[in-house]
């Protein structure tokens, strides 16, 4: 039963992806967020049409669902995506904290279509000073003071 329900929602994510490609919105990826069997967020890749490198299907759907809920947390929500998330989207998912993620294609299938998330998956584990994009650490007292400011703040909202 759950598998059959999952497939119904996965097909909706895939349909979004297909429409996105046909419209020329971006890459072949779609995502929906479901809560209590209702679709509360939708997204398809819009990187090239909106000039936003972060507009992956999952990020767009998470933002849409959070707007709908008026919350930055996707508690008790399930996220259906046409393809296994890239590291950016995986990070977005962990920050949004849905209950479950269901995906159809794997990152390896995505790679054969030219979406090489593997490079980013590898780079995450490379020491910062050996990355393809150079990462320079420059310690500054003012930056350390930011965390003290945060720790001392009385009315802060944690996330």
Q: Which residues are catalytic?
A: 58
DSSP 129: G
Residue partners of 26: CB distance under 8 A and separation at least 6: 20, 44, 45, 46, 47, 48, 49, 50, 55
Shortest Å, Cβ 53 to a second copy: 4
First to last CA, the chain: 34
Residue 35 Cβ vs a second copy, minimum distance, rounded to whole Å: 15
Q: Which is nearer to a second copy, 32 or 62 (CB)?
A: 62
- Is 1 near a second copy (CB under 8 A)? no
Residue 114 makes contact with a second copy by CB under 8 A: yes
Instruction: Compute the residue count for the chain.
Output: 159
Closest distance to a second copy from the beta carbon of 20 (Å): 10
Residue 159 as a binder of a second copy (CB under 8 A): the answer is yes
Closest to a second copy by CB, 17 vs 32, is: 17
- Give the shortest CB-38-to-a second copy separation in angstroms: 18
Q: Burial of 11 by CB count in 10 Å (0-12 exposed, 13-18 middle, 19+ buried)? A: middle
* Cα-based angle 58, 66, 79 (whole degrees, multiple of 5): 40
Spatial distance between the Cα atoms of 156 and 82, rounded to a whole number of angstroms: 36
Counting Cα atoms < 13 Å in the Cβ hemisphere of 108 gives: 0
For a second copy, the binding residues in 52-111 under the rule CB under 8 A are 52-54, 56, 59, 62-63, 66-67, 69-74, 82-84, 86-106, 109-110
Over the window 116 to 155, marking each residue x when it contacts a second copy by CB under 8 A and - when it does not, the resulting string is ---xxx-xxx--x----xxxxxxxx-xxx-xx-xxx-x-x
Is the Cβ of residue 39 or residue 84 nearer to a second copy in the bound state?
84
Subset of 29-48 contacting a second copy (CB under 8 A): 29, 47-48
């Amino acid at each position: 039963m759950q598998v059959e329900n999952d497939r119904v929602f996965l097909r909706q994510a895939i349909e979004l992806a297909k429409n996105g490609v046909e419209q020329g919105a971006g890459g072949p990826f779609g995502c929906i967020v479901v809560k209590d069997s209702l679709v509360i967020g939708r997204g398809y890749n819009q990187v090239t049409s909106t000039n936003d490198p972060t507009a992956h299907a999952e990020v767009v759907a998470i933002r849409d669902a959070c707007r709908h809920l008026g919350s930055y947390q996707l508690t008790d929500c399930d996220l259906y995506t046409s393809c296994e998330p890239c590291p950016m989207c995986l990070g977005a998912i962990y920050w949004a904290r849905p209950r479950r993620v269901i995906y159809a294609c794997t990152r390896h299938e995505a790679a054969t279509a030219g979406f090489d998330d593997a490079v980013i998956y590898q780079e995450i584990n490379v020491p910062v000073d050996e990355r393809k994009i150079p990462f320079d650490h420059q310690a500054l007292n003012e930056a350390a003071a930011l965390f003290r400011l945060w720790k001392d703040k009385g009315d802060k909202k944690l996330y």
